[in-house]
Homo-oligomer: A and B are copies of this chain.
Amino acid sequence: MSTDESAAQDAFLEADVFARNCGSRDVLQNLTSRWGLLALLALTEGDYRFNALRRRVDGVSERMLSQTLQTLERDGFVTRTVLQSIPPRVEYSLTDLGRAVGASVEGLIEQVEAAVPEVMSARERYDDRPPRD
């Protein structure tokens, strides 16, 4: 096994997000993209059809939501189900992995929402202070 292969193998066996080439960075970025986080959070509420999800994730374009869902599906967090109806309906739901990660994302986002007033005060203090050395 070459040094490169062995490094890749180690990265695979023990993911470390601090390592520049670790696959976990890629996964983390797909999950924590602007729309990835919000789509995942919405799906923790229940299954969604595309247009309903688009209304929930206020401000996302059709194209961006579609790309986001495809990435989440490819990474195994989301399932896309085509229901046999006329016209056919497509539903998105979380996989077991998506539900597990979704719970953490939900916790983080609730914390961030609760922190908004504190963050706004911090910004005011920062912007008001004299320029530094």
Interface residues of A (CB under 8 A from B): 12, 15-20, 22-24, 27-29, 31-32, 34, 37-38, 41-42, 56-59, 73-76, 82, 97, 100-101, 104-105, 107-109, 111-123, 126-127, 133
For residue A22, give the distance in angstroms from its CB to the closest CB of chain B.
Answer: 8
Are A121 and B76 within 8 A (Cβ)? yes
**Shortest beta-carbon distance from A101 to chain B in Å:** 6
Which of B12, B118, B119 is within 8 Å of A117, CB to CB? Answer: B12
Contact present for A58 and B111 (CB under 8 Å): no
Q: Is there an interface contact between B18 and A116, defined as CB atoms closer than 8 Å?
A: no
Number of copies: 2
In the docked arrangement, what's the CA distance between A19 and B55, Å? 10
Of the residues B23, B28, B82, B108, contact of A104 by C-beta under 8 Å:
B108
Assembled-state Cα–Cα distance A27/B116 (Å): 7
* 8 interchain pairs, CB-CB under 8 A: A12-B116, A18-B38, A18-B41, A31-B112, A73-B126, A97-B115, A100-B111, A108-B108
With A58-B20, A76-B123 known as contacts, the answer to whether A108 contacts B113 (CB < 8 A) is no
